[in-house]
Chains A and B, each alone.
Chain A
Amino acid sequence: MWQVLRNELAGQNFEVITVGCDAKGAEVEREFIDAANPDYPCLIDTKFVVAELYNTRNVPALFWIDERGWIVRGNDPAYMTRRDPDTGVRTPNERYMDVVRDWVKNGSKSIYVTPPDETQSRIGSSDESNQQAMAHFRLGVYLDAHGHHAEAVAQFKAALALKPDNWNYRRQAYNLGSADEYGMTIQEAMQTVGPMYAVALQLPDPPAS
């Protein structure tokens, strides 16, 4: 779907950049990227550098960056396709695509651009315990990649003890092993630590035309 939007809007000074947050990198991302057949850059972030810089704790997380390099809307948990729960059929998320079209057309006048204080509050801020959790997480990723799975699990547990609601850590850790090692499934974790997204996707209604 990004390719559709990109093709449509590329002549209007617009680019899509995707960042795949996966400890195993290209090995696990290639099939998705090949399927998208993209002309836009699909970057591989095995160390969760961008997740740290942009203070995200789950995916998807979408940020709008304007021509000046300023974030004008942040941390949208928007998928580009929607899956019908009954039929399983995936359809494009036309609503979000329309919202992006509106921004590309209207720039800072788009009703979907958020004021700086709201943008800042949607992104939140990190703290020292998050830095500490990130140190455990990065060490865990390294240890797992070097054949020390048990030691990696200990580091992931330390990260999750500090930040139980960081779904990047939890989902990646479970993916490298199993939920059994953590004594809690994803569903149980949601019951215990709360929702998966810090902020819901909040889109103002389009103006009546």
Chain B
Amino acid sequence: MTVTILTSASEATPADAHVEGGSLWLRSDELLAATGWELKPEGMCRGEICVPLPADRAVSVVRERDGATWVDVAGFAGYVRQTFAHDATTETWYFGPGPEERRGQFQLLDAPDFELPDINGRKHRLSDYRGKKVLLALWASW
């Protein structure tokens, strides 16, 4: 079954993904596009940060098979306390923010920046309006 992997910024259907129990094994060359993580000699890396994998941990989340290196991204998420949700019927997985995105996220007085489209599809960043007072109003139709 095709596995779909979602993050707040991406949607990927890796060619080779295996679900085994609570594990989600991805080939290391498909890791970056699907999750934003990369397997490097120093550990699992995303952007500026790397999470070292201790030998006992590496045994459980990294394996060599069929001439490729595989990473259990669900097991790794548990290790770094990255939240995720899984629907087994459709094999769809959603991964929440990684440790580097959570850090400082709620130092709120510095208004968190974001980019979103308007009704016509034109993108706006909050920081485009720096230098003005901005009344930011969240609403919904429901």
B73-131 CB contacts (< 8 Å) to partner A? 81, 83-87, 89-90, 92-97, 102, 105-106, 108-114, 116-119, 124, 126-127, 129-131
Residues A19 and B119 in contact in the complex (CB < 8 Å), given A43-B124, A50-B114, A132-B83? no
Q: Does A69 lie at the interface of the complex (its beta carbon under 8 Å from any beta carbon of B)?
A: yes
A155-200 CB contacts (< 8 Å) to partner B? 155, 158, 168, 171-172, 174-175
Q: Does B136 lie at the interface of the complex (its beta carbon under 8 Å from any beta carbon of A)?
A: yes
- Tell me if B141 and A22 are in contact (CB < 8 A): yes
**Assembled-state Cα–Cα distance A120/B126 (Å):** 20
**Residue interface mask A38-74, B partner, CB < 8 A = 1:** 0001111101011101111001111111111111001
- Tell me if B119 and A59 are in contact (CB < 8 A): no
Count of chain B residues with a beta carbon within 8 Å of a chain A beta carbon: 47
Q: Does B50 lie at the interface of the complex (its beta carbon under 8 Å from any beta carbon of A)?
A: no
Partner of A51, one of B83, B130, B133, B138: B138
For chain A, give the interface size range.
Answer: 35 or more
A45 / chain B contacts, CB cutoff of 8 Å: 116
In the complex, the chain A residue whose C-beta lies closest to that of B122 is A41
- What is the distance, in angstroms, from A112's C-beta to the closest C-beta of chain B? 12
Partner of B95, one of A28, A62, A120, A135: A135
Residues A29 and B130 in contact in the complex (CB < 8 Å), given A43-B116, A54-B108? no
A67 / chain B contacts, CB cutoff of 8 Å: 130-133
- Tell me if A63 and B124 are in contact (CB < 8 A): no
- Tell me if B106 and A125 are in contact (CB < 8 A): yes
- What is the distance, in angstroms, from A145's C-beta to the closest C-beta of chain B? 11
- What is the distance, in angstroms, from A132's C-beta to the closest C-beta of chain B? 4
In the complex, the chain B residue whose C-beta lies closest to that of A127 is B106
Partner of B142, one of A54, A60, A172: A172
Residues A17 and B114 in contact in the complex (CB < 8 Å), given A71-B108, A143-B90? no
B111 / chain A contacts, CB cutoff of 8 Å: 63, 65, 69-71
In the complex, the chain A residue whose C-beta lies closest to that of B108 is A123
Interface residues of A (CB under 8 A from B): 2, 5, 13-22, 26, 28-30, 32-33, 41-45, 47, 49-51, 53-56, 59-71, 74, 80, 100, 103-104, 107, 116, 119-120, 123, 125-126, 128, 131-132, 134-136, 138-139, 142-143, 146, 148, 151, 154-155, 158, 168, 171-172, 174-175
**Can you list 15 A-B pairs with a CB-CB distance of less than 8 A?**
A5-B135, A13-B131, A15-B134, A21-B140, A22-B140, A43-B116, A44-B119, A54-B112, A60-B137, A65-B129, A67-B130, A131-B102, A135-B94, A142-B94, A151-B90
Interface residues of B (CB under 8 A from A): 6, 8, 81, 83-87, 89-90, 92-97, 102, 105-106, 108-114, 116-119, 124, 126-127, 129-142
